[in-house]
Amino acid sequence: MNNFQPNSLGLAFLKPVVLPASLLAALLVGGCSSPSNTSSQAGAATAADSTTAAAPQAPANSPLQVVAAFREPQIVGVAVLPDGRVFGDFPRWDNNPVNPVAEISTDGSVKPYPDAAWCTWNETVRNEPQKHWICPQSVYADKTGMLWVLDPASPNIKGTVVGGPKLVKIDPKTNKVAQNISFPESVAARKSYLNDVRIDTERNYAYITESGIGALVVVDLKSGKARKVLEKHPSMLGDTTLNIKADGHEMIDPTGKKARFNADGIALSQDFQYLYWKPLTSYKLYRIKTEALRNAALTDAQLAQQIEDLGKVPACDGMEIDAQNNLYMTAFENHSLVRRTPAGKIEPVVQDPRLEWPDTFAFGPDGMLYVTNSAIHKTATWNKGIGRQDQPYHIFKMKMTQ
């Protein structure tokens, strides 16, 4: 929901990992996040309702390095600051993680962020939904080094808590909340699920994918006012005619329906001129000029006329754009990361069986690319109530080489 922050590091092109032509073809024809098993932050043991198999092994030539591993809870998002500090978010889906937003130390340990009070959500604080993480979905570091947390406030993705949906800006220098924007039901309806966010630090706007109903949300950060646009437009909706698979496993929900995840992955061009997005269960990629999104006078019909269909790409969860405007995608159907060049060419980056549902990207200092694997397809929700996680959830990183 999975599922990426633009930076000013001037990252160079990756030296592509050579993959078989058959794999690349599969990627071309071959979603962020859905419920999964999350529990306490300390879990070395496998969940009781899980069936485990032999964990995937790293290929000898894999560039992926393990930053942190979590048997439980399930991690979805990652953000990395210019100074190297790493943050993760663990949404409250099936269970109740102790630290739904956490700073992750170099030894892999976690601490609540910005503090334990924000991470507390129980009966004693139900009357303060704006002061606590209810079900945080995304953490994101903007170009100025500020940390943003997007909280759709929908535990178990079963409906928003009244007054809970919010976008929160935290100053990592002080570890204090600098801005807290609450979304009304006209923007975040009860069936909504705010999924991922990108920040235009020049014009002070935020852009959010809403995957519950299928829409974009445009936020004027100066005024705190938000608008929902393009609700249920075809570019926002998952395609239920596809047999989306992960690890060869077709995504079928408990009611027997094929997975349909709406607008999810999102990315901003380096100059903030274009916003990219795609529904998770789709092979289509779209973009629009952000100037149009900021124009509140335009109707949805007028906005729709400015949407560009960029053609076929892999089904993916997370997206991010580097300094050369290569668009990176987590191709979960093939345990892979790929990128789309500005010319529209799809190139392999890395394939590794440990990338079980690669979810969210982050660019860190020293040319490092970070990614989480959330193993959504292995969770109980998509396996008739039996979790089949065969390895810990991870944060990986890899060097971006010339």
Amino acid identity at 262: N
- Map out the domains of the chain with their CATH numbers: 21-399 (2.120.10.30)
Quote the tokens at residue 76: 């979805």
pLDDT of residue 146: 98
d(CA 88, CA 393): 12
CA-based angle 232:267:87, to the nearest 5? 110
pLDDT of residue 383: 86
Over residues 333-353, the pLDDT tens digits come to: 999 999 999 999 999 999 999
Cα–Cα distances (Å) from 166 to 19, 139, 141, 152, in that order, read: 41, 12, 16, 7
> Residue 394: beta bridge partners?
69, 373
Which of 357, 370, 234 minimizes the C-alpha distance to 304?
A: 234
The mean pLDDT value of the chain amounts to 87
Which of 368, 361, 354, 352 minimizes the C-alpha distance to 327?
A: 361
* Cα dihedral: 126, 131, 133, 137 (round 10): 120
pLDDT of residue 15: 40
Over residues 227-274, the pLDDT tens digits come to: 999 999 999 999 988 888 888 888 888 888 888 899 999 999 999 999
Quote the tokens at residue 402: 């010339």
pLDDT at 95 over 80: no
Residue 350, classed as helix, strand or coil, is: strand
Which of 316, 286, 317, 319 minimizes the C-alpha distance to 304?
A: 286
